[in-house]
Structure 1
């Protein structure tokens, strides 16, 4: 049942996004969204509290994608190697690519549609707990540790700024980016804001937890301190 509701909400989000892009937010009504989604207006308001929030499931899909991919991140890989696999468009289903383009186009309207920005920001804020869990698991630390939570918040903010910068540059200024460029800039930005060493390969420990892989010289130096 929950899956069915989530699918229905995403259908509404796609319809709303298409209308916002075509007509603008002000010229789109709840009735318009309901008609485009093939449901009653009453159902739209059962799912969402206003028309702006109708695109929340699409915005959330952006950070959820990062979270899903990072949960599958092997301990022996660096952030650069893993992101290169995540962003390989040849491995993505057509629906994911279509939604991704819709999200990019929607993000590019934020400078002209300020009422959508709170929805965009809130979608990323909701991802902090999930990312904290991923970072904590990778480093063998509690998800609730202040440093872990701070790192998660900083990384999500960096990813959000990357999304905004690339989307606006691509849609408004017709700039093109290769997958390698996106991977390099994303990894560089994540490293720049991370004060915990989770971006590099980590070594699982036999009695629980994990930690960054150190060279023999670094390990000896650590034992003598």
Structure 2
């Protein structure tokens, strides 16, 4: 139950099937809990925060917390996966005549340049959270689970985009390249800036993502772009 909810928001980015009211409420509750967990982890450190602390901050009972998540670290999954959902949604909406590699790039840029308050705050929380990931095996496991799920989602969307005649290996390679590029970009950005005030003087996360995507999809992207020949 929790695993699927991590990969969806109001609309499933793969199936484009609207969620029921119950599913939307469940997803919102999970995201609210995730945001509280991320705030606490970044402020106090993972080791000092308990599941009870997260439940209290989220305004729920400990029993309710464990209905949604097995561990305190699992609680941040929906926040991390929310960015994935946004990216997949933007990628799916990119016009079909845009080459796959270019579609990955443009959708990543759109995802990482949101200016609405919720989007900006989600990026801030994700950045703070990823700064706490290194050295914490349980948080790393959640992060890499989201990374794995992202690759599978990309394979599905890119496979549909490129059509039934596309080489499955090439589709997988493009998904791996795009996924790795985004992961590197987010992790690189998380390691920059002022950790206290998050004042940036370097490249934006979108700039880093575009650079990584262009570098890692160069060979695969040209092989899959019909206009390249």
Considering the TM-score relative to the shorter chain, is it more than 0.5? yes
Residue by residue over 1:156-210, the C-alpha shift from the partner in whole angstroms, topping out at 9 and shown as x without a partner, is 122101100011112449653455xx444423322333343379xx9xxxxxxxx
Shift of residue 16, structure 1, vs aligned partner: 0.7
Please report the RMSD computed on the Cα atoms of aligned residues, expressed in angstroms.
Answer: 2.7
Residue matched to 2:212? 189
Q: Using a 3 Å threshold, how does the CA distance of structure 1 residues 142 and 170 change in structure 2: closer, same or farther?
A: farther
Show the 5 A alignment for 1:17-36: 17-36=38-57
When structure 1 is superposed on structure 2, of 102-111 and 139-148 the one drifting more is 139-148
Give 5+ residue unaligned stretches, structure 2: 1-21
**Whose Rg is larger?**
1
Residue matched to 1:57? 78
2: CA distance between counterparts of 1:81 and 1:11? 28
2: CA distance between counterparts of 1:107 and 1:87? 15
User: Is the contact between residue 127 and residue 190 of structure 2 (CA under 8 Å) also seen in structure 1?
Assistant: yes
TM-score scaled by length of structure 1: 0.77
Show the 5 A alignment for 1:1-225: 1-77=22-98, 78-79=102-103, 80=105, 83-89=108-114, 92-141=115-164, 145-172=168-195, 175-179=200-204, 182-194=205-217, 195-197=219-221, 212-214=226-228, 218=229
User: Is the contact between residue 151 and residue 196 of structure 1 (CA under 8 Å) also seen in structure 2?
Assistant: yes
Residue matched to 2:7? none
TM-score scaled by length of structure 2: 0.76
User: Is the contact between residue 135 and residue 198 of structure 1 (CA under 8 Å) also seen in structure 2?
Assistant: no
